[in-house]
Structure 1
Amino acid sequence: MKSKSQTVTLAGERFESLQALRAIAAVAVLIFHLRFVELRYLEGHALLDWLGRNADAGVDLFFVLSGFVMASISRGKGSGPSAARDFLTQRAWRVVPLYWMFTTLVVLLMSVAPAMVNSSYADQSIAASYLLIPHQQLPVLAVGWTLVHEAYFYLVFSLALALAYGTRQRLSLFAMAWGSLVGFGYWQGFDEGAPTASVVFSPLTFEFLAGVLTGLHWRRIPPRFGSLLFITGLGVLLLAAALLPPSDSEFNAPLRRVIHLGLGSALLIAGSALLETSGHRPNRLLIELGDASYSLYLSHIFVISAIGRMWGHFLPSAHWLNHGFFLLFTVFVACLSGNLIHKRIERPLLDLRYRWKAAGTFR
């Protein structure tokens, strides 16, 4: 029997296309980080120096997907304090245990092999990292910064459910009001203040809200527009990734990046959902990798860093073939490792909650 944790379920329907998009997003982030590993450990010109400069667009796709899924699964599930509590419990169980496991691994490395972790970790708050509380530095598990934003999204979205905003119209109004407040704060420069304000008023919230509004209204779009939306969204994402300055460049304005990548992601997701309702199914390997996307996202830094160190020590050749083999091998091993972690650790953890819930010992 297929695990309940494997594919996204929206109002009783299984949407494998969203899992495929999760896979694409996770691999894009992997490639973005692999660019730095290649630059650091291998000699000569890095093949990913240009190709991977904006591959962190996978994070933007993740945020829009998150909003889309949250809005879709909340419909028809009721509202009020109990619905908000159930929503937060489900999301916490989905996100926190595996994140804590990898955070603990970093903490242990900081203690026994500090040379293997970023030296700036010494200035980071371990407690804030575990609790996903915004602070001046990145969490000790660097990719956890996106989970800080996710935790904020979940808290505010649960407020909407607690206030009985479970209908499509009320959730849409709530999302637009939320976006207006964020926009005002960003315009006033509140995002440049304290760590909490920088999260609350971050333009990245617009991507989550774009996903929420897409998730609430995509069924109103005629299915025949699925291909057009998919192609347009993919084109916008690829053009933005190719033409925008690198994400770490001072010329890459956050709002401009969010507008391009958020819009492209929303169009791609709506098109994918419409195509699936018309009978189109994504590649099975993409679906399986999408199932493991969270495990891949959290674990890939460890894998690519370890391979990069070993490859740079034994095979530092500047030849482009050496670089190519390194990239293919590292992506393959990282994806394989993420899949194994999903099957051996993540999925059993998720299924444990369903067993406890069925037994009446967990709600």
Structure 2
Amino acid sequence: MTSRTFHSVQALRAIAALLVVVFHLQIVEQKYSATTPLIPTLMRYADSGVDLFFVLSGFVMTTIAAGSYGSPHNAGRFLLRRCWRVLPLYWLYTSVVVALMLLAPGMANSSYQDQSIVASYLLWPQSQLPLLTVGWTLIHEMFFYLVMAGMIAFARESLLPWLLLGWAVLTLCAQQLLGPAAAPWQLVTSSPLTLEFIAGALVGLYWQRLPAGLALPVAGLGAAGFLSTLLILAGLDAAAPSAALRALGFGLPAALLTLGLVRWERASAPVLPPALLRIGDSSYSLYLSHVFVISAAGRLWQKSGWNSTTWQSGLFVLLTLLACVGAGLVSWRLLEQPLQKLSSLRRRRAQASGIVAE
């Protein structure tokens, strides 16, 4: 295990992706079930897996960027690699949505058919969700990458904590000044969700300073805080939480959970479940592909007539969840991995020819 490899982060990615899958599965179960849904009410807020993803992204970015600051060349390389990591697979699944809109309009979400196809491909903020709805999180990701690239290009590494804190203050001020009537790009740049990236980035800078004996208590505190927010929102039967509430109720606990687990991993080198790690490896593919699987499964379930009893609902939930995980693994193996290997091959060829200096 290299110094930059964290199996606990992969396990958390798996949990985050599965939470988002269950969130969408709960919506489809409620829509098509003729009996009482099995997925509990608190899973109405399981899209909080996204908040965990944001924290993990911030952690990973400052971890992989260590030692590369003060270099525009390194900044360009960082940005190119992040774009290659995110965009090709996202473009592929967005193209599936576009194809459905053209060939089978009834299977596509008609509420987004007025959206700009170009803006959706470019992850440019719009007044509605992108054509591939889960792409809204990638818009926030790309904004974070751009700011990080700016820091890598022009900042000294010793100033990074202060720059991150200053960014957090600017985000809070912009949120208060702009208000909900701001342009879509302003809403993204002023979103409190940015604070989750920043929290993860700070964890990436300081996790080694946490005493090893406090690692599991801190992780437990984070997990308890995350679950408590889920339970409180379910008990209040509240509407979807605002971005500010998400950052506080889910983002902060997610940061504590990440901090505790990565420190615990380095201190004790635990053996984590291989299945969970494999889902973590394929979490990006799972995140992008699961909406297609759940939508198709829900339509088939309704047409089958096997949606009128509790055991039939349970079978639908189980089989659909397994199908989502299976589709994510296939996408990871056949699409995502080859794309990333292609990028690595191109870098090695460039280095061999002297085009790129590592």
Quickly name the TM-score band, shorter chain normalised. Answer: over 0.9
Q: 1:191·1:200 contact (CA, 8 Å) conserved in 2? A: no
Q: Equivalent of 1:224, from 213, 216, 231?
A: 213
Query: In the alignment, residue 201 of structure 2 is paired with which amino acid?
Result: V
Query: In the alignment, residue 344 of structure 1 is paired with which amino acid?
Result: L
Structure 1 residue aligned with 2:282: 292
Tell me: CA distance 1:129–1:225, structure 2 relative to 1, closer, same or farther (3 Å): same
Q: How many Å separate the matches in 2 of 1:282 and 1:325?
A: 28
Q: How is 1:42-53 mapped onto 2 (pairs within 5 angstroms)?
A: 42-48=33-39, 50-53=41-44
Q: How many Å separate the matches in 1 of 2:302 and 2:246?
A: 33
Structure 2 residue aligned with 1:307: 297
Q: How is 1:21-100 mapped onto 2 (pairs within 5 angstroms)?
A: 21-48=12-39, 50-100=41-91
Query: In the alignment, residue 289 of structure 1 is paired with which amino acid?
Result: I
Structure 2 residue aligned with 1:4: none
Structure 2 residue aligned with 1:337: 327
Q: 2:301·2:307 contact (CA, 8 Å) conserved in 1? A: no
Which secondary structure does the structure 1 equivalent of 2:113 belong to?
Answer: helix
Tell me: CA distance 1:248–1:162, structure 2 relative to 1, closer, same or farther (3 Å): farther
Q: Return 41-50 or 130-139, whichever deviates more.
A: 41-50
Structure 2 residue aligned with 1:3: none
Q: Equivalent of 1:186, from 175, 196, 210?
A: 175
Shift, 1:260, TM fit: 1.4
Q: Give 5+ residue unaligned stretches, structure 2.
A: none
Q: Equivalent of 1:134, from 122, 125, 129?
A: 125
Q: How many Å separate the matches in 1 of 2:10 and 2:344?
A: 20
Which secondary structure does the structure 2 equivalent of 1:55 belong to?
Answer: helix
Superposed CA RMSD: 1.8
Shift, 1:152, TM fit: 0.5
Shift, 1:72, TM fit: 1.1
TM-score by length of 1: 0.93
Tell me: CA distance 1:247–1:253, structure 2 relative to 1, closer, same or farther (3 Å): farther
Q: Percent identity?
A: 42
Q: Is 2:346 aligned against 1:353? A: no
Which secondary structure does the structure 2 equivalent of 1:137 belong to?
Answer: coil
Q: 1:191·1:202 contact (CA, 8 Å) conserved in 2? A: no
Q: How many Å separate the matches in 2 of 1:265 and 1:65?
A: 8
Which secondary structure does the structure 2 equivalent of 1:188 belong to?
Answer: helix
Deviations 1:240-299 (A, max 9, x none): 111125999557333122111111100110111011112223211111110000000000
Tell me: CA distance 1:116–1:246, structure 2 relative to 1, closer, same or farther (3 Å): farther
Q: Give 5+ residue unaligned stretches, structure 1.
A: 1-6
Which secondary structure does the structure 2 equivalent of 1:338 belong to?
Answer: helix
Structure 2 residue aligned with 1:13: 4
Deviations 1:98-134 (A, max 9, x none): 0000000000000010100111122111100000000
Q: How many Å separate the matches in 1 of 2:223 and 2:145?
A: 27
Q: 2:28·2:294 contact (CA, 8 Å) conserved in 1? A: yes
How many residues end up aligned between the 2 structures? Answer: 352
Structure 1 residue aligned with 2:317: 327
Q: How many Å separate the matches in 1 of 2:306 and 2:31?
A: 10
Which secondary structure does the structure 1 equivalent of 2:194 belong to?
Answer: helix
Q: How many Å separate the matches in 2 of 1:191 and 1:182?
A: 14
Which secondary structure does the structure 1 equivalent of 2:241 belong to?
Answer: coil
Q: Return 38-47 or 230-239, whichever deviates more.
A: 38-47
Q: Return 320-329 or 103-112, whichever deviates more.
A: 320-329
Structure 1 residue aligned with 2:230: 241
Deviations 1:221-241 (A, max 9, x none): 111111111111111111111
Which secondary structure does the structure 2 equivalent of 1:123 belong to?
Answer: coil
